[in-house]
C-alpha cells in the first residue's frame, strides 16, 4: 500500500520535545523536559516565518518563568505553580497520542501537578492540542485542558495568574516593540483591557518583512467564566484569568475543562475575521482521548460525538 505523507504532523524529537509541522515546516514546538519547572510551547511561528512568542521578559530577569506559552496557576491549595522559585512542579507523565492528518495534527499528553515538598500528585492535567493551517501561512492552535484532582475535589484560588499565559515576541509588544493590544469589545491598550471581560484579546504588531501579524487568543463559549476577564500587560503578555474574581473547583465526577484557541494571523487585528474564527471554534466539538482500536496504538484523539 502506498504511503501518503500527511500535510499536518507531530514529530517527536530528542531532548523531550515534539514539533508540529504543516507541509514540512514547523509551526509550533512542545517542550516537556525535566530541566524546566513546567512544560511549555516555543515558538509559535507567524506567517512571516518569525516567532511570535518569546522566552522571558525583555527587561526583567525576574520573569524568566514567562516561557512563551505555558499552563500554570498561582493558588492551588495555597501552593504556587506560577513562579520558578516555588518548589511546585508540573511534569509530563506520558504522551498518549501523536496524530497526523490532512487538516490537523493533534497531541494528547498526561501531566501531573506536584507540590514539590510532597511526592504525592495533586491533580492530573489531560492536555490535547490540535494544530491546523490557516491561509497564507497562518496557524490555529486549539488547546484543551482537563483537570482531574486526586482527591474528591480541588479548588483553584482567586488570582490573576492562571491558567494559560502567552508571552509575545518583543517586536509585537506594546512597550518594547510596535505592537498593540485590542479586544473583542473594541478596547485598546492595557488599562482598557486589564480585568475586563472579552471573548478574545489580540496582540499584533509589525512583521520583519513589512506588514503586520499577531496572535488572537480566544476564550471558548463553553468555559465556565466566558467571556472571561483578562490579565494583560503592555510589556508583552496576555492570559485568560478565569479565577480573577473567585475560585474554580474541579472534582473527580465533574473535572474542570478549559478550551482556548490561539490564531497566529497575518495582518493587523481584524474584529470581523476574529468573530468568524470564534464562531468556527465555538462550533467545534471538544476533543476526547479514547482507547484506540488500531493495531500497535494505545490511545486515540477524536472529536466527541
Residue 19, strand partner residues: 11, 29
> Is the separation of the CB atoms in 155 and 126 below 8 Å?
no
Name the strand (E) or helix (H) holding 191: helix 190-193
What percent of the chain is modeled with pLDDT above 90? 96
Rounded distance, CA 75 to CA 96, Å?
Answer: 28
> Residue 120: is its pLDDT beyond 90?
no
Please give the CATH number for the structural domain made up of 37-270: 2.70.98
Sequence-distant (6+) residues with CB within 8 A of 175 are 234, 235, 236
Residue 164 pLDDT > 90: yes
Measured distance CA(295)–CA(154) in Å, rounded? 37
| pLDDT higher than threshold 90 for residue 117 | no
pTM for this entry: 0.98
Three-class SS state of 279:
helix
The reported pLDDT for the residue numbered 152 is: 96
How far apart are alpha carbons 233 and 235 in whole angstroms?
5
For residue 279, give the C-alpha cell.
464562531
pLDDT tens for each residue of 58-98: 999 999 999 999 999 999 999 999 999 999 999 999 999 99
pLDDT for the residue numbered 118? 78
Look at residues 51, 28, 54, 50 and name the one whose alpha carbon lies nearest to residue 41. Answer: 28
- Judged by average pLDDT, the poorest of 6-10, 115-119, 220-224, 298-302 is 115-119
How far apart, in whole angstroms, are the C-alpha atoms of residue 8 and residue 130? Answer: 10
Q: What is the pLDDT of residues 271-281, one digit of tens each?
A: 999 999 999 99
The whole-angstrom separation of Cα 198 and Cα 279 is 14
Amino acid at each position: 500500500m502506498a504511503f501518503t505523507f500527511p500535510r499536518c504532523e507531530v514529530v517527536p524529537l530528542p531532548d523531550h520535545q515534539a514539533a508540529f509541522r504543516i507541509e514540512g515546516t514547523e509551526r509550533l514546538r512542545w517542550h516537556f523536559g525535566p530541566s524546566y519547572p513546567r512544560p511549555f510551547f516555543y515558538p509559535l511561528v507567524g506567517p512571516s516565518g518569525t516567532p511570535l512568542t518569546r522566552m522571558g521578559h525583555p527587561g526583567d530577569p525576574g520573569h524568566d518563568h514567562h516561557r512563551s506559552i505555558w499552563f500554570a496557576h498561582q493558588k492551588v491549595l495555597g501552593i504556587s505553580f506560577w513562579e520558578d522559585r516555588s518548589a511546585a512542579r508540573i511534569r509530563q507523565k506520558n504522551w498518549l497520542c501523536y496524530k497526523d492528518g490532512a487538516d490537523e495534527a493533534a497531541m494528547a499528553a498526561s501531566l501531573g501537578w506536584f507540590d514539590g515538598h510532597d511526592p504525592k500528585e495533586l491533580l492530573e492535567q489531560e492536555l490535547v492540542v490540535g494544530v491546523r493551517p490557516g491561509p497564507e501561512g497562518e496557524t490555529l492552535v486549539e488547546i484543551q485542558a482537563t483537570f482531574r484532582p486526586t482527591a474528591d475535589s480541588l479548588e483553584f484560588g482567586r488570582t490573576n495568574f492562571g491558567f494559560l499565559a502567552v508571552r509575545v515576541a518583543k517586536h509585537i509588544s506594546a512597550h518594547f516593540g510596535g505592537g498593540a493590544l485590542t479586544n473583542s469589545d473594541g478596547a485598546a491598550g492595557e488599562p482598557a483591557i486589564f480585568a475586563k471581560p472579552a471573548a478574545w484579546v489580540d496582540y499584533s504588531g509589525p512583521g520583519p518583512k513589512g506588514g503586520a501579524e499577531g496572535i488572537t487568543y480566544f476564550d471558548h463559549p463553553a468555559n465556565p467564566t466566558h467571556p472571561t476577564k483578562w490579565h494583560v500587560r503592555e510589556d508583552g503578555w496576555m492570559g485568560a484569568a478565569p479565577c480573577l474574581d473567585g475560585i474554580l473547583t474541579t472534582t473527580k465526577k465533574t473535572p474542570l475543562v478549559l478550551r482556548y484557541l490561539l490564531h497566529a494571523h497575518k495582518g493587523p487585528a481584524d474584529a470581523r475575521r476574529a468573530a468568524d474564527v470564534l464562531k468556527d471554534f465555538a462550533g467545534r466539538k471538544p476533543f476526547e482521548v479514547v482507547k484506540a482500536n488500531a493495531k500497535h496504538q494505545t490511545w486515540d484523539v477524536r472529536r466527541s460525538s
